[in-house]
């Protein structure tokens, strides 16, 4: 019983964490797409990173 009670919130937390990560990655992808479409902002960012 204790194991099940401990496991359920854990999987729920993992789901919320995955959802947050997916939203963040989607937001970054969208911003990079928009900046790439408007100009070379994405290229400048990637150039400075590497």
How confident is the model over 13-50, as pLDDT tens digits? Answer: 999 999 999 999 999 888 887 776 665 555 666 566 55
What is the per-residue pLDDT for 23? 95
Distance in angstroms (rounded) separating the CA atoms of residues 4 and 10: 10
What is the per-residue pLDDT for 16? 93
Query: 32 lies in which domain range?
Result: 2-49
Q: What is the mean pLDDT of residues 6-13?
A: 76
What is the per-residue pLDDT for 30? 86
pTM of the model: 0.48
- Give the count of domains, the chain: 1
Distance in angstroms (rounded) separating the CA atoms of residues 7 and 48: 43
The sign of the torsion formed by the CA atoms of 16, 22, 26, 27 equals positive
């Amino acid at each position: 019983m204790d194991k099940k009670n401990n496991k359920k919130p854990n999987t729920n937390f993992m789901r919320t964490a995955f959802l947050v990560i997916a939203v963040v990655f989607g937001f970054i992808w969208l911003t990079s797409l928009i900046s790439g479409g408007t100009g070379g902002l994405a290229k400048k960012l990637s150039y400075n990173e590497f």
